[in-house]
């Protein structure tokens, strides 16, 4: 039972490049979310999903795109990377709003 | 929108001293969760509180949920070096989104 798997763990991009952070969970959770973590800023919600085919914006959605075609996968797309998107990204899945969040190990992204 | 404030931002203690972090919400919460993130790691769930005035203990950790369900605290008795990390609270207050506090980073001097 792998839990939540994020890839890649590390990535360096140049400004303007695009990329996708992958997130997969094997716990059959309906809810999934993406957070970014910056020093002193805690965990800020980028996008979330309450089930396959349903996504919504969080606190800091600009510059990011998501889709949820299956229960298992919730990829995060950076359309045109900017230095301000340098951060550590965490994907999480959870069974309900009142349920425990299970986090992936994180993806450290640097945009030059 | 809903805001969750957490203090202090940093806390440095000597091993054996107690530690407390506080969490305050701008709205009444349906529940509050606490997470611990070790340096270089990912957040890991510690506990969830649901009832007004609830107190839960996990060994040296004591968690409290305020009577008005707008604040919470985590107290660690006799800290150990294994307690180092950042402690986050997270609450849902009617927005259907879990909002995290900015965390309290705990360092322990052996």
The string of pLDDT tens digits covering residues A18-30 is 999 999 999 999 9
State the CB neighbour count (10 A cutoff) for residue A27. Answer: 14
User: Once rounded to an integer, what is the mean pLDDT over residues A57-74?
Assistant: 96
A–B: how many Cβ contacts below 8 A?
Answer: 52
- Please report residues of A whose CB lies closer than 8 A to that of B1: 59
Compare all CA atoms of chain A with the CA of B9 and give the residue at the minimum distance.
A40
Of the residues A38, A44, A101, A106, the best mutation for testing chain B's interface (the one with the most B CB atoms within 10 Å of its CB) is A101
Residues B17 and B83: their CA atoms lie apart, in Å, by 11
At residue A8, does pLDDT exceed 70? yes
Return the pLDDT at A108.
Answer: 97
Helix (H, G, I), strand (E, B) or coil at A85: helix
Beta-sheet pairing, A107-111 with A10-13: parallel
At residue A1, does pLDDT exceed 70? no
At residue B96, does pLDDT exceed 80? no
CA distances from A29 to A33, A49, A70, A88, B86 (A): 11, 10, 11, 23, 26
What is the share, in percent, of chain B residues with pLDDT greater than 90?
89
Nearest to B87 by CA among B17, B32, B30, B50: B32
Compare all CA atoms of chain B with the CA of A35 and give the residue at the minimum distance.
B100
The string of pLDDT tens digits covering residues B62-88 is 999 999 999 999 999 999 999 999 999
Helix (H, G, I), strand (E, B) or coil at B81: helix
Q: What is the mean pLDDT of chain A?
A: 95
CB A53 within 8 A of CB A44: no
Selected residue with higher pLDDT from B97 and A4: A4
């Amino acid at each position: 039972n792998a839990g939540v798997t994020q890839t890649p763990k590390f990535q360096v991009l140049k400004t303007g490049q695009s990329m996708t952070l992958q997130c997969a969970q094997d716990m059959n959770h309906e809810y999934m979310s993406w957070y970014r973590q910056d020093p002193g800023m805690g965990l800020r919600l980028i996008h979330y999903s309450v089930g396959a085919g349903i996504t919504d914006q969080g606190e800091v959605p600009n510059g990011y795109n998501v889709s949820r075609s299956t229960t298992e996968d919730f990829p995060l797309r950076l359309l045109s990377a900017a230095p301000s998107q340098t951060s550590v990204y965490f994907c999480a899945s959870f069974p309900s709003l009142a349920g425990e969040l299970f986090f992936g190990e994180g993806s450290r992204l640097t945009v030059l | 929108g809903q805001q969750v404030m957490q203090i202090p931002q940093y806390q440095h203690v000597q091993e054996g001293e107690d530690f407390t972090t506080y969490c305050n919400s701008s709205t009444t919460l349906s529940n509050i969760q606490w997470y611990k993130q070790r340096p270089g790691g990912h957040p890991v769930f510690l506990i969830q509180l649901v009832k007004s005035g609830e107190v839960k203990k996990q060994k040296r950790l004591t968690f409290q949920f305020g009577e008005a369900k707008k604040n919470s605290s985590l107290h660690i008795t006799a800290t150990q070096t294994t307690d180092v990390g950042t402690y986050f609270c997270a609450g849902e207050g009617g927005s259907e989104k879990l909002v995290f506090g900015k965390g309290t980073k705990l360092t322990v001097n052996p």
